[in-house]
Amino acid sequence: MHKAILPLIIAFASFSSQSADFEFSTGGGTQYGGFIGIQGGLKFEKSRYFAALGLFGVSAGAQFQMSNDGHHSLGVNGGTMYGIFGGDKDYIAMTYNYHFKGFHNSGWEIGTGVGYFKTEEHSIWFSSDVAEEEEKVHIIFNIGYKF
């Protein structure tokens, strides 16, 4: 009985031994929480999961390496941008990024994508009453530097 279980234990042990690196970056766009912000992420062999805190916004998402040379990645992110005078935007976006020095290296990255935005305009400053709602699809741009 123990001889039959040992190969299963060894096989499943390899799944839990995957290492991840922490990565810090700063930039502008929805991947950085809106206008400008900071981003912390966990980077695996071919994927990266991140959370961002920006000037008037928050974001979370993932990127997946698409090429062997590590320059191209596809991803998804979502978040909220808080309006100073009452308009908040919730969004979800699909993104493409180009990493100048590769997916695993420090350096500049630029990106674009398509995002679905839902905007709620409030009637009075800092009010929770929604005066107007608008839903639109926008092209987005991101630029950042990974440390």
What does the pLDDT read at residue 93?
94
User: With contact defined as beta carbons under 8 Å apart, do 112 and 96 qualify?
Assistant: yes
pLDDT bin (cut points 50, 70, 90) of residue 26 is very high
Instruction: Check residues 130 and 77 and name the one with the higher pLDDT.
Output: 77
User: With contact defined as beta carbons under 8 Å apart, do 61 and 31 qualify?
Assistant: yes
User: With contact defined as beta carbons under 8 Å apart, do 41 and 52 qualify?
Assistant: no
Distant-in-sequence, close-in-space partners of 64: CB < 8 Å, separation ≥ 6: 46, 47, 48, 73, 74, 75
pLDDT in tens, 67-112: 888 899 999 999 998 876 667 889 999 999 999 999 989 999 999 9
Instruction: Check residues 133 and 56 and name the one with the higher pLDDT.
Output: 56
pLDDT at 65 over 90: yes
Tell me the pTM: 0.77
